[in-house]
Amino acid sequence: MRCLFCFFRSKRNSVKCQFCERYFEKSQDMQDGLAYLENGFDRVSHECDLIEEKTSIVVGFIFKRHKYSAEDLLQSEHMEKINSFASKIKADIDAWEAAGKLPFRVKMLYNEKVQEVRDRVAELNRMAKERRPTFWESIGGFFQRLYQLVIARLPMFVQGLITFKKRKAIEQQAA
């Protein structure tokens, strides 16, 4: 049974009733396509939610710091899953379009969802990069900048020796 709002749609190109979640199209192909898109983009949204939760996790009792660095978040398995889901959905949409089985409304919904995902991923990137560092992270950042400043002022010969010793120590730790 359709709700009253389904009869009086405000958007002419709307695909689904915003109140009762019923599809306006009658064809089974259209409903299957829309359900596939919603399922796929729900998975993407879930991965975005997981990344968003990880941006605010702080660990430690005395020395509090973020559990995940910005690089860890931006190169995490969740970002890889987002890219994988998005590329799979795009490949399926391209295949449907090549076969001539892609209704216009499904393509419109796909474009809307893609824009939402792009905006959400851009927001996640901004949140991860611009989050406020804890007290100890800011102190550590100060010492890192100081170290880089001192190294930059040294002659090139000394810089080469320091980086060589660092590289050698890292190789010994790895072996």
Q: How many angstroms separate the Cα of 25 from the Cα of each of 3, 22, 164, 169?
A: 15, 9, 67, 65
Dist CA 55 CA 68 (whole Å):
7
Cβ-proximal residues to 40 (8 Å cutoff; 6+ apart), any chain: 85, 88, 89
Q: How many angstroms separate the Cα of 165 from the Cα of each of 33, 107, 162?
A: 59, 57, 5
Average pLDDT over residues 109-119: 91
Q: Quick one: pLDDT band at residue 11, thresholds 50, 70, 90?
A: low
3-state helix, strand, coil in the chain (%, to 5): 70, 5, 25
- The residue ranges of DSSP E strands in the chain, in sequence order, are 58-59, 65-66
Domain definitions of the chain by residue range:
4-132, 134-175
Q: Quick one: pLDDT band at residue 3, thresholds 50, 70, 90?
A: low
- pTM of the complete model beyond 0.75: no
**Under the phi-then-psi rule, with left for phi > 0, alpha for psi from -120 to 50, and beta for the rest, what region is 167?**
alpha
Give the tens place of pLDDT for each residue, 17-71. 666 656 555 566 677 778 888 888 899 999 989 888 888 777 777 777 777 777 8
